[in-house]
Amino acid sequence: MGVEIERKFLVKNDAWRDNIQAKQSISQGYLSVHPERTVRVRISNTHAFLTIKSKSIGSVREEYEYEIPISDGKELLALCEKPILSKTRFIVEHHNHKWEIDEFELENKGLIVAEVELSDENEHLEFPGWVGKEVTQENKYFNSQLSKNPFSNWH
C-alpha cells in the first residue's frame, strides 16, 4: 500500500519565486470524485499517470500511482469530468523539504497553494516566510473539489 502524508497551505506572497528549482506544466482530470476515493489522470510535461487516492484522514491517505503511456493519458483525460485542471507546479527546497507550489490557471486562476510531503505525520517542519494559512483539511482546496467547484466560483 502506498501512503501519502501531505500538508497544504495557501501562499501569502511571491518570495518563493526567488528559489524555484524546477517547474512543470500539469493537466489533470478526474474519472471519479467519490467521497471515499478519487481516480485521477495527470499529464505532466511528457509523462502521464493514473492515480487512485483514498479519503484523507488528517494529512494521511492511501495513494497508488502508475505511469501510463502519454497517448493513454490523453485519451483518458478526454473522458474525465470537466473542467480539466491546468496548473504550473514549481519546486522549491526549504530546510530539507521539497515544497510543490501550484499556480492554477483557467477556472482556478488566482489560486496558489503549497504542498509538502512528510515521512511522518508529526514530522517537524520549518515554514518558509511565504507560507500562509494551512488548508490541509479544507476539502474545497482538494484538486478533486476544484474540478467540481472552481476557485472562480468562490467569489
Residues catalogued as catalytic:
30
Backbone angles phi, psi at 47, to 5 degrees: -125, 150
